[in-house]
Amino acid sequence: MIKQYLQQPYPLYEKRWNIIVAISLFISFFMLFFQPFGLSAFESNYRLYFEIGYGVVTFLVLLIDLFAFPLLFKKTFKFQQWTVLKQIIWQVWILVSIGIVNFLYSSFFLSFSNNLKAFLYFQFYTLVVGIMPVVVVTVINQNRLLAENLKIANEYNNDFTAKTDNAPDNEKVCLVAENSKDRLDVNSSDLIYITSTGNYIQAFYQKENELKSIVLRNTLKQTEDQLKENHSMIKCHRAFLVNKNKIVRVKGNSQGLRLVLEGTDEEIPVSRNLSKSLMDIINA
């Protein structure tokens, strides 16, 4: 039961700036009011700034943990593969890294008789203070998001009726690459979805009852412009366009809403900021 729960999806990168600011302010106020690690014995005219400095140091550490690490280790930080367990492990690492840097910061201004003992004390204290809130907040947040998204998905599925566009099934869609040579000509009814990575798109379509794909050098914005006369293709995510007539069901988990499409096993993510307008279009 616990193992299955830990493998549940969890949203990655949720409200990173809120997390950074909240934790940094918490550390600053915690140091000011509770005076741990022998701070009460520290005498200096700049003591207030020194204690606030813990929050500044924490802010910088969190910038690295929440922004730099995901860029450096893209294979590890994949949104679709992020789970409750990975979130907890990552949060524990964040606590450890905060403890390490705050120890180094303290060592620069304070003298410790035993650096190893002080380091272990810093780490122990940081983990004891932070581990329970990390686990509790992660579990509560996962359950809340799961319940919200399942409710939304069920509401859409209850109201959802497959609709066809007014355009005839044999309407042609033409996607042309930037070089004006590579292109895809396909019936609108056969185009399933388009995904984008940087300056390239990959279009998935059906041909003779088989799923095919083609990669073209094009941005998603350029592709949207080429499809502006085709009302079947709609944007559901910053990296995805889908054929609304291929949507058969909406699913929900703690990461958000996902679209189940006819002709592919791939579930397409829906951006939170696009979910309302997307579902209005689907059920219009």
Convert the pLDDT of each residue in 31-52 to its tens digit: 777 766 666 666 667 777 877 8
Say if residues 173 and 179 touch (Cβ distance below 8 Å): no
Q: Please give the pLDDT value at position 40.
A: 61
Torsion of CA 185, 187, 189, 190, to 10 degrees: -50
CB 251 within 8 A of CB 258: yes
pLDDT at site 36: 67
Task: Tell me the domains of the chain and their CATH numbers.
Answer: 2-147 (no CATH), 160-282 (2.40.50.1020)
Q: How far apart are CA 264 and CA 250, in angstroms?
A: 14
> What pLDDT does residue 1 have?
76
pLDDT value of residue 112? 67
Phi, psi of 131 (to 5 degrees): -65, -40
229/191: higher pLDDT: 191
d(CA 74, CA 78) in angstroms, rounded, equals 6
Most confident of the ranges 62-71, 77-86, 104-113, 118-127: 62-71
Residue labelled with tokens 């403890």 = 99
59-93 pLDDT per residue, tens: 999 999 999 998 898 888 887 788 999 988 998 89
Are the CB atoms for 193 and 241 separated by under 8 Å? yes
CA dist 188 and 169 (Å) reads: 6
Residue 125 has pLDDT above 80, yes or no: no
- pTM of this structure: 0.70
Q: Of 156 and 56, which is predicted with more confidence?
A: 56
